[in-house]
Chains A and B, each alone.
Chain A
Amino acid sequence: MTWEIAKQAIDYVLNNEQEFREESVTWDFIGGEPFLEIDLIDKICDYIKTEMYRRNHHWFNSYRFSFSTNGINYHTEKVQNFIKKNQEHLSIGITIDGTKKKHDLNRIYKGKDGKGSYDDVVKNIPLYLKQFKNAGTKVTISSPDIPYIIESVLHLYKLGIKDIHINCVFEDVWKDGDDILFEEQLLSLADVIICKGYYKNHNCSFFLETIGKPLNPKTQNTTWCGAGQMLAIDATGNFYPCMRFAGYSLRSKKPIIIGNIYDGIDKNKLRPFLTLDRITQSPKECIDCEVASGCAWCQGENYDAAETNTIYQRATAICKMHKARVRANNYYWNKLYRKLELEGEREEFEKNKCEVKPEIC
């Protein structure tokens, strides 16, 4: 993205304050790798702050800059200066997938003979945790990753990361038997978390009390995904309901462009996103599902996998993985609560337990 495009995008958003009435804003920088462009990002953030102040915009002092980074450049002087300058308004997530083996399965340098990035990321974790004490990480599980789930989660705990947001990919990548392997991994992970007491001050989003229940078709009819409630802008200035609808994110469908920095948002193209509900896009098996709660979807993947050019056909590739997760999750809570009851600690646990929000995207 050029500075000119970035500036025009910011001007569009700030010029149209009446269209963006939310109390606060997150300016989210995702890549590629955002810290490769730290000079540009620094300039962008300075401009945003200056303009919000100059315009007396209602977001002034109610904003965050958010980054999803691979962490490789985290220690560099420029990135560190940026962090110091914006610390109070920063959210940074370093993506580290677990053990070296697991991480280097997917995160490989271009043109370095398949060298993984684990070593370069992990050295920055202590600094990261020093600067962001409650920092978490996001882990994504695909079929080849399943055997490494336990060791990866425990490895991240060992590195000092206490909050792990972990989810299966929504794409149809699952092989026969993956759900069984997945369930076995989660059951063993449940045993370790409970036996070693990690449940007291660590989180792993696989285990949530709220998942695995039926959903009322009338009162629990909201859609899962936030596509359309955010504005995503690509390097050329096109607008999308989420970056998953950009051409480079899609396998077979045309991008869904909802406007651009020159002409603004085509609100008609946003209407389907803002009126989506769970029932209208779900097949009967999902509507009737006894363990529906917590079963997530990605609107972009729904669109990409749909038989027609629609966002109204829910992809169900994740179904068997969700059901496996629910079985392991039930096991986890039954085991944990029995232990706490036997030890007379349940009341104390209930009082202190922190809320873990389900992973959305």
Chain B
Amino acid sequence: MLQYLIILLDKESVSFCSTPPKGERGGGLMPLETLRQGIRFGMMENLMIQYVYPDKELSKEYAEVIESIDHSKIKSLPQSLLKEGRMDADVWVTESIKDIKAEVPVVWRTDKQNLFNSEADIVCALENVPRLNVVLTDVETFTDEDFEKYKQLLSALAKHIEKLYVEGKAPQLNLLTDRMMLQKMNNCGAGDTTITLAPNGKFYVCPAFFYEDESDSIGDLENGLDIKNKQLYKLEYAPICRHCDAYQCKRCIWLNRKTTLEVNTPSHEQCVLAHLERNASRELLNNIRKHGTFLPEQEDIKEIDYLDPFDKRDTWQ
């Protein structure tokens, strides 16, 4: 069931997920009338609106229209504000977390190499932001060697997080703490719970679908939504994912299509990364519980002998 409407206020709105970076998209502010119609659509469909901002300043007229409905704002975090912690967004997106300080959740888009070299910065950020969402921008390039490095990094970070929990703090790092809290899948939702309205007045499965191919729309404001094979965006129609308990997995629909050509099928790399996170979360949960009662209502995360559920398909096919 649809719940969220992402409105890209500009063609150069910030990339906050696996969406390719702005690059040479060219600017293009959403016309004010399109924005009004988009908001109206969201209200009529009872959708929570998330505005994605470009770096540039928007006029007062836009600000007024934007404020006409309850919403959340996703913005990029300028370097100048890194240390100041000045807030005018509900989610900040950044390409660097060095010395970061914020009072709202931060999305950090990074490639693997930068991630592997950033253990200290992540540990520091966890004390200075309420939540850190790490988004890897090169998932499809991971090799076995990278998986090992990722595993080691998660293990190291889990030790820091355990220490913070013992100190009475509750840091949130999507890669490690989400799975401890979840009892069912909590993934991307593109095409199922979330759709995107682009500046051209057309709907897309997610921003990445718009940036990749503008003709790949799923309806427009004039004629409404037309999501073909809508069921394939749902978990029940994803043969690998519906058997999986890496509940924190991003399950990026766009990456699925890019790597396997099907929106309902994740790549090997995405599955392995999600399971390394899951297993590290398991260790973290078990270790925190050694210090006392922790999330008593939450079931143990089971030990498993695989990293890619695809390899276990014989057990559920």
Query: Which chain B residues lie closer than 8 Å to A56 at the CB level?
Result: none
CB-CB contacts of B283-317 with A at 8 A, as 1s and 0s? 00000000000000000000000000010010001
Query: Which chain B residues lie closer than 8 Å to A221 at the CB level?
Result: 317
Asked whether A268 lies within 8 Å of B267 as measured between CB atoms, the reply is: yes
Sorting the interface of chain B by its residue count into under 10, 10 to 19, 20 to 34 or 35 or more gives 20 to 34
Query: Which chain B residues lie closer than 8 Å to A307 at the CB level?
Result: 228-229
Q: Confirm or deny: A313 has a beta carbon within 8 angstroms of a beta carbon on chain B.
A: yes
Q: Confirm or deny: B76 has a beta carbon within 8 angstroms of a beta carbon on chain A.
A: no
Query: Which chain B residues lie closer than 8 Å to A267 at the CB level?
Result: 268
CB distance from B232 to the nearest CB of A (A): 6
Given contacts A306-B229, A308-B228, whether A275 and B313 have CB atoms under 8 Å apart is yes
Give how many A residues have a beta carbon under 8 Å from the other chain's beta carbons.
21
Query: Which chain A residues lie closer than 8 Å to B269 at the CB level?
Result: 268
Question: B317 touches which one: A268, A275, A310 (CB < 8 A)?
Answer: A275
| Cα A311 to Cα B240 with chains together (Å) | 15
| Cα A307 to Cα B232 with chains together (Å) | 12
Considering only residues 257-280 of chain B, those with a C-beta below 8 Å from chain A are: 259-269
Given contacts A271-B310, A277-B317, whether A310 and B237 have CB atoms under 8 Å apart is no
| Cα A311 to Cα B263 with chains together (Å) | 11
Asked whether A277 lies within 8 Å of B239 as measured between CB atoms, the reply is: yes
Q: Confirm or deny: A16 has a beta carbon within 8 angstroms of a beta carbon on chain B.
A: no
CB-CB contacts of A288-325 with B at 8 A, as 1s and 0s? 00000000000000000011111111000000000000
Asked whether B229 lies within 8 Å of A313 as measured between CB atoms, the reply is: yes
Given contacts A272-B261, A277-B317, whether A312 and B237 have CB atoms under 8 Å apart is yes
Please classify the interface of chain A as helix (H, G, I), strand (E, B), loop, or mixed, using the class held by over half of its residues: loop
CB-CB contacts of A269-291 with B at 8 A, as 1s and 0s? 10110111100100000000000
| Cα A269 to Cα B267 with chains together (Å) | 8
Query: Which chain B residues lie closer than 8 Å to A272 at the CB level?
Result: 260-262, 264-265
Give the number of A-B contacts (CB < 8 Å): 57
| Cα A152 to Cα B8 with chains together (Å) | 62
Question: A271 touches which one: B237, B267, B317 (CB < 8 A)?
Answer: B267
Given contacts A256-B261, A274-B313, whether A268 and B268 have CB atoms under 8 Å apart is yes
Query: Which chain A residues lie closer than 8 Å to B317 at the CB level?
Result: 221-222, 275, 277
Query: Which chain B residues lie closer than 8 Å to A312 at the CB level?
Result: 229, 232, 237, 262, 264
Asked whether A310 lies within 8 Å of B313 as measured between CB atoms, the reply is: no
Residue of A nearest to B240 (CB): A275
Asked whether B262 lies within 8 Å of A311 as measured between CB atoms, the reply is: yes
| Cα A272 to Cα B237 with chains together (Å) | 12
Query: Which chain B residues lie closer than 8 Å to A277 at the CB level?
Result: 239, 317
Asked whether B265 lies within 8 Å of A308 as measured between CB atoms, the reply is: no
| Cα A276 to Cα B310 with chains together (Å) | 11
Asked whether B229 lies within 8 Å of A268 as measured between CB atoms, the reply is: no
Asked whether B261 lies within 8 Å of A269 as measured between CB atoms, the reply is: yes
CB distance from A154 to the nearest CB of B (A): 41
Residue of B nearest to A313 (CB): B229
Could you list some 30 contacts between A and B, CB below 8 A? A267-B268, A268-B259, A268-B260, A268-B268, A268-B269, A269-B259, A269-B260, A269-B261, A271-B240, A271-B262, A271-B267, A271-B268, A272-B260, A272-B261, A272-B262, A272-B264, A275-B240, A275-B265, A275-B313, A275-B317, A276-B239, A277-B317, A280-B264, A306-B229, A307-B228, A309-B261, A310-B263, A311-B262, A312-B264, A313-B229
Extra inter-chain contacts (17) besides given A272-B262, A308-B229, CB under 8 Å:
A221-B317, A222-B317, A267-B268, A268-B267, A271-B268, A271-B310, A272-B261, A272-B264, A272-B265, A274-B310, A275-B240, A275-B265, A275-B313, A280-B237, A307-B228, A310-B262, A312-B232
